[in-house]
Amino acid sequence: MSTAHHGNQQRGVALIMAILIVALATILAVSIATESYMDQRRTMTVLVLDQAYDLGLGAEALAADALIEDSKGSTIDTNKENWATPIILPVDDGIGDIKGNLEDLQGRFNLNNLLNIDGTKNETTVKQFERLLEIVGLDRRWANIMVDWLDANNDTQSPDGAEDSVYAGQSPPYLTANMAITRTSEILALVGMTKVMYDKLEPFVSALPPGTGLNVCTAPHEVLDSLATTRSQFGNNTNTFASNRANGCFPRLTEIKNDFRGDPDFDKLITAHPDYLVEASNYFRANILVTIGTTELAMYSVLNRFGNSTNAKIRVIERNFGTPN
C-alpha cells in the first residue's frame, strides 16, 4: 500500500470523527437549550399558578367581606342582594381577570338531613328527597340507598338498599361512609350511580352539617316543589316563578306555610322540624376563576358565616380546585 493511499485513509477517518464530534456537540447543545427552555417554562407556570392562587384568595376575602356587610343590613338572604352579584376584575392591565360569584348552599336540599341529629332515619326529609329525585327524573329508591350510605348501622333501609356487603363486592371493594358526608360527589360512590344521573341531581343538593335549614328565598322551584305531595305551583309556572324571584325573596316563609298547609307530608315535616324552613343562610360557596394569559385556576370555597349582625365572622370550611364538589 502506498504512503499516499494510507494518508488518504487517515484523513478520511479524521473527517468522519470530526463530523461525529460536531454532531454530538450539536445534539448536546440542543438538549441543553431545550432543557433550559423547559425549566424556564415550568418555573413560569409555577409562578403564574402561585400568583393565580394568591388572587383567588383575594377574591375569597372579597366574598367574605360581602357576606359580612350583608349581615349588617339584612335579616334575609336572596339572590337579588349585593353578595349574589357576580364580579369580574381585571388583572395586570388586561393580561387576565378574576371572575367570581357567591352561591347560597342552603337553597339546596342538604343530604345530611336525611338523618336526624341522633343518627336515625329522618322519615320526613326522606319523603322530600324521594319527591326531589322524581322531579329531576331519577328513581325514588336512591333516597334509601343514600340513607344506608350515611347511617352508622349495617341494616338496609329497603329491598333496594345497600350496605357494606354490597360495596365489598365491588371492584375495587370499599365500604359505606357510615357518617355525614362533606361533598355531594360522594353520591357517585353509591352502587349503580352514574355521572349522567349525578349531573341531574347535583344542582339541587348540598352536603352541610345535619340540621341546617333550607332557605326558601334562594331554593330553586324543584326543591320547593319537593316539600309537598300534591301541590306543584312553582314548577307548573316557571316564568311566573322567575319573575317573582327577580324582585327578592319569593315565596316568603309565610306564603309557603299557607300554600302547603294541609298537605300530609308537609305538615309532618314542619311539625317534626319547625325550624327546617328559613329565610336567612349561613353557608355559601364562592366560585372563583382566575385567568392569567393561558393559565386558569378554578377555586371553590365553602364559607360559613356565624355570629350576629354586629359581629359577623367568616370561616372557610372547605376549598376545592378544579371541581366544586
Task: Give 56-76 pLDDT, tens digit per residue.
Answer: 999 999 999 999 999 998 899
The answer to whether residue 27 is domain-embedded is no
- Assigned C-alpha cell, 97: 381577570
The answer to whether residue 24 is domain-embedded is no
The answer to whether residue 22 is domain-embedded is no
Tens-digit pLDDT profile for residues 5-21: 666 666 767 778 888 88
Q: Helix %, strand %, coil % for the chain, to 5?
A: 50, 15, 35
Give the CA count within 13 Å in the CB-facing half-sphere of 257.
11
The CATH number given to whatever domain includes residue 247 is 1.10.40.60
Tell me how far apart the alpha carbons of residues 167 and 187 are, in angstroms, rounded to a whole number: 13
Phi and psi at residue 173, in whole multiples of 5°? -75, 150
pLDDT tens series, the chain, 325 aa:
556 666 666 676 777 888 888 888 888 888 787 777 676 666 667 788 899 999 999 999 999 999 999 999 889 999 999 999 999 999 987 789 999 999 999 999 999 999 999 999 999 999 999 999 999 999 999 999 999 999 998 888 778 788 998 999 999 999 999 999 999 999 999 999 999 999 999 999 999 999 999 999 999 999 999 999 976 677 777 788 888 898 899 999 999 999 899 999 999 999 999 999 999 999 999 999 999 988 899 999 999 999 988 899 999 999 999 888 8
The answer to whether residue 7 is domain-embedded is no
The answer to whether residue 34 is domain-embedded is no
Tell me how far apart the alpha carbons of residues 69 and 157 are, in angstroms, rounded to a whole number: 45
Which pLDDT belongs to residue 9? 67
Which pLDDT belongs to residue 275? 95
Render the burial of 181-216: b for 16+ CB within 10 Å, e for the rest. Answer: bbbbebbeebeebeeebbeebbebbbbbebebbbbb
The answer to whether residue 46 is domain-embedded is yes
The answer to whether residue 32 is domain-embedded is no
Range of the domain at 178: 42-325
Q: How many domains does the chain have?
A: 1
**8 A C-beta contact, residue 80 and residue 247:** yes
The answer to whether residue 15 is domain-embedded is no
Tell me how far apart the alpha carbons of residues 204 and 223 are, in angstroms, rounded to a whole number: 7
Which pLDDT belongs to residue 22? 83
pTM: 0.85
Tell me how far apart the alpha carbons of residues 275 and 257 are, in angstroms, rounded to a whole number: 12
